[in-house]
Amino acid sequence: MKETIESKNSEERKQWFESILSVREKTEDRVIENWKKTAFNVLQNTPFPSKNDESWKLTDLSNFFKMRFQKKSEKTLSESKIIEEYLVPELKNRIIFIDGHYQKQLSNLDNLENKINFLSLDKLNGNKKIEIFESMLKGESGMDGGFFSILNIACLNDIFLLEAKKDIVLDEPIHLIFIGTNEEVANYVNSRILIIGGEKSSFKIIQHHSSYNQSKYFENSATNILLKEEAKLDFSYVNEISEKSCHISSIHADLNKNSKLNVLTTVFGGFMSRISLGVDLNGVGAYIEINGASITDNKNINDFHSRISHNYPECKSSQNQKNLVSGKGRSVFAGKIQVQHGSTCTEADQLCKTLLLSPESRIDSLPILEINNEDVKCTHGATVSDLDQNQVFYFQSRGVSIESAKFLLTLGFIQEIIDRLPPGLRQRLSDNVVKII
């Protein structure tokens, strides 16, 4: 029986893969096509993710591999009303993608002229293209990043570069919006963006993935971040796609001397969501801070894997992850901190807190420290709890209804995370908390 089940699963994954290949787009760019062929060849010898794979053993992919993809029908996307509900009024700088394709006519970068570069890689010359490829094919989003990052490269239709110029300071965030619209058949969306912070630049980016309520698609997203000396980036990642869709994101950040990256992740969309975040601190004094909030309901799965590698002396990292899990939802957190030989005066802390709102909800938390140096200050920990009934009773004794008490306590649990978002996005997250209480 076991052999039969394994054979069936293998055939199912093969059909899934073939359906992706059937919708793969061909590009005219020779450099991209060469990398696509290379990645496709690597895929031939790369096993599908499964419970036999250490990094996927806690994530149920059975429903994911049942998806079959078809080419989406062509739509007219020029009407601004299509994206109205996805805009955040206070965010004026916008770069909009619909079903993986850049929409110049709907985007707005008027206030950023001479401050940033935003262009597709086909606008660069061959040597510059190759240099960009080599810098972005590392870590979690590169050829060594596992099955989905390789698949992303094999299915590239375009790559976009967003670069903050040297010494530039941008106070207003740039809103990168990725919208899935197809409700007729399941489609495959492949996106890749490279973010570069020039020396001593300071800027903010919100990468926001959303969709129509009934959209059915798999988005395989890859993001590379390169911060040069003394650059600073506040990077927020928001996933609120439909429950009929799934999202896998491979993110890799390369931080140089005295650069600083603040990462905020909020995930409350999709029947399956996975973020694989890798950070390499590649310069003295580099700093990374990660704050995350995950909301999981029904039978949905939210999976967050992170790796922070201290490769140089005097680097610091801090990670704070909070998970709300309700219904039969499942959340996975696996956070690894690596301190390499010679990385003296390292400071690193990591904490994962989970609030379970249902007896059937589940969290798997795996904090890991790998220390190859004595001169370090490193801490990690994980806590799991349900709502404190004494606190609920206290609210009731003050005339607050039990429903309101649960809402206030639940929202309060992740308040420190979501307060970092702009008001429009903060309200969306609060509305999703209400739905699961």
pLDDT digits (tens, 9 = 90+) for 279-291: 999 999 999 999 9
- The domain spans of the chain are 2-283, 389-437
To the nearest 10 degrees (0 to 180), the angle between helices 402-418 and 423-436 is 140
> For residue 126, what pLDDT band results from cuts at 50, 70 and 90?
low
Check if the beta carbon of residue 235 is closer than 8 Å to that of residue 262.
Answer: yes
Virtual torsion, Cα 229, 253, 20, 305, nearest 10 deg? 180
**Predicted local confidence at residue 372, as pLDDT:** 82
Closest CA to 204 of 164, 165, 239, 243: 164
> For residue 77, what pLDDT band results from cuts at 50, 70 and 90?
very low
Check if the beta carbon of residue 272 is closer than 8 Å to that of residue 299.
Answer: no
Give me the residues paired with residue 273 across strands: 247, 302
Check if the beta carbon of residue 425 is closer than 8 Å to that of residue 86.
Answer: no
- What is the arithmetic mean of pLDDT over 104-111? 91
Percent of the chain with pLDDT strictly greater than 70: 91
**Predicted local confidence at residue 78, as pLDDT:** 46
C-alpha 128/C-alpha 404 separation (Å) is 57
Q: Dump pLDDT digits (tens) for 12-24.
A: 999 999 999 999 9
C-alpha 410/C-alpha 430 separation (Å) is 10
Q: Dump pLDDT digits (tens) for 134-188.
A: 777 789 999 989 999 999 999 998 899 999 999 999 999 999 999 998 888 899 9
